[in-house]
C-alpha cells in the first residue's frame, strides 16, 4: 500500500476480476480531459502521455518536489518490482511526471503496444510492458493463486525475517553516520549509494506487504459478504485498527516523558516556558534538565525521530535533527494530561467488541470461517503504521541524513553554500560535483531551483491532468487518492457545504484549525477540528487532541481515514478545497458519515448562509 490499507476491492472478487475490460485504447470512452491552460500549463513529452490519467500526488508530496527526491526518493521507483513479482494484470509500471514542480503519476497497463518514457535516477527509460499479448487476460489467475499465501504467512515473514533485515540496514547506516565526520568525501558518496540501495530494498518490501494486506482484506470482505450478505464498512474499519504498533510505541514514550515532567518540579518549571526554544534553553541551563535531554529526549529522537512533517520529501528536517518538535509534543501532552493507558485500552476494547460483533448470529461453520479470516486480518493490522516507520519514514529519512552529511563536506570544500543545497541538485549533478567540482555550476543551479520552488508554491495544481477513461479510473490503487469518487465529484463549489469522502463516521461541531506546517502543530488545542492537506505518521500526535478531521486529499484507505477510525473521530477526506474554503477560527460541522462539512460561522462569529448538507461521496 501507499497509505492506509491498500487498494479497496470492488466486492469480494479476486484481483483478476478488476481487469475484465481491455487495457487503455484509443477507442475507449473519454470521460474528461485536461491538457493544461494558462493558469497551469503542461509540457507533454509525447502525444502518448496525453492519453493517460495523471494524478496529482498530494497524498505524499503536496508541495513542489525537490530535484533530488524526484530522482532517487520516489515511491514509484520500485513499482515495476511489485507488478512483476505478483504478475498483476491491471498494471505493469507506474510513472511519475514533474509538472511545474508538482508530482503527477500514472499507471501503465499490460499493453504490448504502449510506448511511453519514464525517468529513474536521472535516466530515461521505456515503461516496462509485456511482450505477450495474452498477459493481461491470463496472468490474473497466477495472482489469484499466490496472493492467499502472502495473506496467510506475511505477518510471520515480517516479524521474523523482514523487520530484522530492515533494523540491520538502519543500524549500519546510523553507525556510519555517527562516524561520518572522519570520512572522506568519496567515502560519504559511497555511503549514499548504500542508502539508496537500502531505500530501494525497503520499498520492495513495502509492496510485498501491500499485497499481503490486500489478500487479508479481500478474504475478510469475501467471508463477510458470504455469511452476512453484505460488507459492513464501518465494522471492517474498526477491525483494521491496531492497538500495538510503532505509532503507539512512540505515543507511549512521549506519555512517559510527560509524566516525568509532571512529577518533577524543576522540569515542570522548565516546561512552563512560552515555546519550545525557551524550554530547550531552560533544560540546558540545569543539571536536571541536561540529564532529561540526554536520558529521555535524545534516545527518543534516535528511535522515533526518523520522520518529518512530510515524510517522503527530503527537504523537510526530521525530528532526529531537531528537538523542538518533541518538546512541543511533551508540552501539549502536559497541558492536556494525556492518558495513554486509557486511550490504548479504549482501542483494545473496541477491536475486541468488533471481533465479537462480526461473529454474532452466525452458525458454527460460518463462525469458524469468519473467525479465521479475522484472525489473519488482525495480525496484519499493525503493519499499516509499522511499515510507515520502517519504510515511508525511516528509509527516506536515512537517505536525507546521508545527503546532508555529503552537503556538509561540500560546504567545507567551498562548493556549495549550505548542506541542504544538495537536495536542489539532480542525482547525477551531485555525483559530478563530487568527482569534478568545476563540471557543475552548483551555486547557480541551487539558487535558480530554490527560486523556482518558491514560484511553484503560488500555483494551484489540479487534481489530475491528461485523459480520464473508465479503465484508468478503475485502477485499484487510486482509491488511496479518493478515486474514482473525487473525479465524479466534479469541480468543487465555491459556496455551500464542502463535500468530500466519508472516512470515519459520526458528527462533530467545533472550531477549525488549519495546519499547513509542523510549526503550526503547537497551535492545535484540545477539541479543535484539524483541517489540513494530508496527514502522515508525523501527525499522529495531533490525534490525541483533535475532535474531527478534514483533508484536501485521500480516500477511505488513506492515512488520515485509517487513523481517524483508529482514534474514533469523525473525518471527511478528499475535499480538494478544505484548506482554501475553511479558515482557522471558523465554526464548522463535520459529518463523517455523509462526507460533508458545513461552515456554520466564519472566524469572528459571522453567520454563513450554508445550503443544506448533501450526502458526500463514499457514504
Contact present, 361 and 554 (Cβ < 8 Å): no
- 548 and 569 share a domain? yes
The full DSSP string for 406-447 is HHHHHHHTTS-SSGGGGGGS-HHHHHHHHH-GGG--HHHHHH
Cα angle: 39, vertex 465, 619; to 5 degrees: 110
- Residue 366 within a domain: no
The tens digit of pLDDT for each residue in 181-238 reads: 999 999 999 999 999 999 999 999 999 999 998 889 889 999 999 999 999 888 888 8
**pLDDT for 494:** 65
Domain match, 315 and 425 both: no
**End-to-end C-alpha distance for the chain, whole angstroms:** 22
**Residue 610 confidence (pLDDT):** 37
Which whole number is the average pLDDT over 247-266? 96
> What is the number of domains present in the chain?
4
Closest listed residue to residue 60, CA positions, set 430, 403, 307: 307
Q: Is the peptide bond before 426 cis (omega within 30 degrees of 0)?
A: no
* 545 found inside a domain: yes
What does residue 108 show for φ and ψ, rounded to 5 degrees? -105, 125
Q: Is residue 610 part of a domain?
A: no
Does residue 613 surpass a pLDDT of 90? no
Compute the distance between CA of residue 186 and CA of residue 181 in angstroms, rounded to an integer: 12
At residue 563, does pLDDT exceed 90? no
pLDDT confidence band for 576 (50 / 70 / 90):
confident
The pLDDT confidence band at residue 76, using thresholds 50, 70 and 90, is very high
Residue 351 within a domain: no
Q: Which three cell numbers stand for residue 102?
A: 508538482
Cβ atoms of residues 82 and 207 within 8 Å: yes
**Separation between Cα atoms, residue 77 and residue 120, nearest integer Å:** 7
DSSP letter for each residue of 531-596: EES---GGGGGGGGT-SEEEESS--TTSHHHHHHHHHT--EEE--SSHHHH--TT-EEEEETTTTE
Give me the percent of the chain exceeding a pLDDT of 70: 92
Residues 117 and 179 in one domain: no
Residue 63 phi, psi (nearest 5): -105, 165
Residues 255 and 286 in one domain: yes
The mean per-residue pLDDT over the stretch 41-60 comes to 96
For residue 143 the three cell numbers come to: 495472482
Q: Which of 230-239, 430-439, 597-606 has the highest mean pLDDT?
A: 430-439
**Integer CA distances (angstroms), 159 to 110, 302, 305, 321, 538, in order:** 33, 21, 22, 29, 23
**Paired sense of beta strands 123-126 and 32-34, if any:** unpaired
Q: What is the pLDDT of residue 316?
A: 93
DSSP strand pairing (102-108 vs 53-56)? antiparallel
Mean pLDDT computed over 81-95: 94
Closest residue by Cα to residue 73 from 422, 559, 380, 363: 422
- Burial pattern 20-40, b for ≥16 Cβ within 10 A else e, equals eeebbeeebeeeeebebeeee
Same domain, 414 and 438: yes
> 518 and 425, same structural domain?
no
* Same domain, yes or no: 106 and 221: no
Confidence (pLDDT) at 489: 78
For residue 612, being part of any structural domain is answered with no
Residues 570 and 499 in one domain: yes
Q: Which pLDDT value is given to residue 14?
A: 38
Residue 71 and residue 110 in one domain: yes
Residue 319 lies in a domain: yes
Distance CA 397, CA 77 (A): 17
Of 564 and 443, the one with more pLDDT? 443
- Examine the domain organization and report whether 218 and 285 are in the same domain: no
Give 371 or 501, the one with higher predicted confidence.
Answer: 371
pLDDT higher at 26 or 523: 523
pLDDT over 60 at 44, yes or no: yes
- Where among 342, 362, 380 does a domain terminate? 342
Q: Which single residue is written with the C-alpha cell 521507483?
A: 77
Does the residue 35 lie in any domain?
Answer: yes
186 & 119 share domain: no
Q: What's the domain range around 422?
A: 162-228+394-456
From residue 434, give the alpha-carbon distance in Å to each of 73, 120, 141, 429, 439. Answer: 20, 20, 49, 9, 10
Q: Kindly state whether residue 502 falls inside one of the protein's structural domains.
A: yes
3-state secondary structure of 20: coil
pLDDT confidence of residue 364 = 94
Are 177 and 254 members of one domain? no
DSSP state letters, 134-164: THHHHTHHHHHHHHHHHHHHHHHHIIIIIHH
Residue written as grid cell 508541495: 63
SS3 (DSSP) at 614:
coil
Q: Is the pTM of this model over 0.85?
A: yes
Give the 3-state secondary structure of residue 324.
helix
Residue where a domain terminates, one of 342, 359, 383: 342
8-26 pLDDT per residue, tens = 333 333 344 333 334 444 4
295 in helix, strand or coil? helix
Amino acid at each position: 500500500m501507499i497509505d492506509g490499507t491498500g487498494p479497496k476491492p470492488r466486492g469480494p472478487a479476486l484481483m483478476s476480476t478488476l481487469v475484465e475490460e481491455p487495457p487503455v485504447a484509443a477507442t475507449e470512452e473519454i470521460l474528461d480531459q485536461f491538457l493544461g491552460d494558462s493558469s497551469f500549463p503542461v509540457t507533454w513529452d509525447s502525444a502518448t502521455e496525453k492519453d493517460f490519467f495523471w494524478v496529482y500526488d498530494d497524498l505524499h508530496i503536496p508541495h513542489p518536489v525537490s530535484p533530488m527526491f524526484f530522482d532517487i526518493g520516489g515511491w514509484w521507483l520500485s513499482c515495476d518490482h511489485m507488478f512483476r513479482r505478483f504478475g498483476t494484470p491491471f498494471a505493469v509500471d507506474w510513472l511519475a511526471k514533474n509538472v511545474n514542480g508538482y508530482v503527477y503519476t500514472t499507471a501503465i497497463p499490460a499493453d504490448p503496444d504502449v510506448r511511453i518514457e519514464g525517468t529513474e535516477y536521472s535516466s530515461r527509460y521505456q515503461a516496462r510492458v509485456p511482450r505477450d499479448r495474452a498477459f493481461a487476460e491470463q496472468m490474473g489467475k497466477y495472482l489469484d493463486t499466490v496472493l492467499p499465501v502472502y495473506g496467510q504467512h506475511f505477518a510471520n515473514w515480517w516479524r521474523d525475517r523482514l523487520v530484522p533485515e530492515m533494523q540491520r540496514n538502519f543500524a549500519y547506516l546510523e553507525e556510519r553516520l555517527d562516524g561520518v565526520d572522519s570520512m572522506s568525501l568519496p567515502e560519504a558518496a559511497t555511503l549514499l549509494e548504500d542508502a539508496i540501495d537500502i531505500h530501494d530494498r525497503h520499498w520492495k518490501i513495502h509492496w510485498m506487504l501491500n499485497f499481503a494486506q490486500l489478500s487479508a482484506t479481500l478474504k475478510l470482505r469475501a467471508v463477510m459478504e458470504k455469511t452476512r450478505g453484505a460488507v459492513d464498512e464501518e465494522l471492517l474499519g474498526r477491525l483494521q485498527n491496531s492497538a500495538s504498533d510503532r505509532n503507539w510505541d512512540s505515543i507511549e514514550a512521549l506519555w512517559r516523558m510527560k509524566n516525568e515532567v509532571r512529577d518533577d518540579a524543576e522540569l515542570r518549571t522548565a516546561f512552563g516556558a512560552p515555546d519550545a526554544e525557551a524550554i530547550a534553553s531552560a533544560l540546558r541551563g540545569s543539571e536536571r534538565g541536561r540529564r532529561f535531554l540526554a536520558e529521555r529526549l535524545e534516545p527518543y529522537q534516535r528511535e522515533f525521530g526518523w520522520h518529518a512533517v512530510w515524510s517522503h520529501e527530503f527537504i523537510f528536517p526530521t525530528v532526529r535533527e531537531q528537538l523542538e518538535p518533541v518538546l512541543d509534543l511533551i508540552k501539549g501532552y502536559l497541558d492536556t494530561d494525556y492518558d495513554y493507558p486509557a486511550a490504548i485500552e479504549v482501542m483494545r476494547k473496541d477491536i475486541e467488541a468488533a471481533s465479537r460483533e462480526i461473529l454474532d448470529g452466525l452458525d458454527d461453520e460460518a463462525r469458524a470461517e469468519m473467525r479465521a479470516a479475522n484472525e489473519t486480518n488482525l495480525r496484519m493490522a499493525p503493519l499499516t503504521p509499522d511499515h510507515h516507520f520502517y519504510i515511508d519514514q525511516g528509509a527516506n529519512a536515512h537517505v536525507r541524513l546521508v545527503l546532508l552529511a555529503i552537503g556538509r563536506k561540500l560546504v567545507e570544500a567551498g562548493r556549495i553554500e549550505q548542506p541542504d543545497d544538495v537536495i536542489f541538485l539532480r542525482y547525477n549533478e551531485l555525483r559530478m560535483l563530487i568527482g569534478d567540482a568545476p563540471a557543475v555550476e552548483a551555486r547557480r543551479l541551487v539558487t535558480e531551483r530554490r527560486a523556482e520552488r518558491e514560484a511553484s508554491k503560488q500555483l494551484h495544481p489540479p487534481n489530475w491532468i491528461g485523459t480520464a477513461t473508465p479503465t484508468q479510473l478503475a485502477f485499484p490503487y487510486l482509491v488511496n487518492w479518493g478515486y474514482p469518487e473525487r473525479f465524479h465529484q466534479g469541480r468543487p463549489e465555491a459556496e455551500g457545504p464542502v463535500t468530500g469522502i466519508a472516512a470515519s463516521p459520526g458528527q462533530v461541531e467545533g472550531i477549525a484549525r488549519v495546519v499547513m506546517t509542523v510549526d503550526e502543530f503547537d497551535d492545535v488545542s484540545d477539541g479543535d477540528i484539524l483541517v489540513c492537506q494530508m496527514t502522515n505518521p508525523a501527525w499522529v500526535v495531533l490525534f490525541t487532541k483533535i475532535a474531527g478531521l478534514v483533508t484536501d486529499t485521500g480516500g477511505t484507505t488513506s492515512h488520515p481515514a485509517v487513523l481517524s477510525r483508529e482514534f474514533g473521530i469523525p473525518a471527511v477526506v478528499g475535499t480538494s478545497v478544505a484548506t482554501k474554503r475553511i479558515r482557522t477560527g471558523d465554526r464548522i460541522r463535520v459529518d463523517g458519515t455523509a462526507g460533508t462539512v458545513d461552515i456554520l460561522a466564519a472566524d469572528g462569529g459571522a453567520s454563513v448562509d450554508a445550503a443544506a448538507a448533501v450526502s458526500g461521496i463514499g457514504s
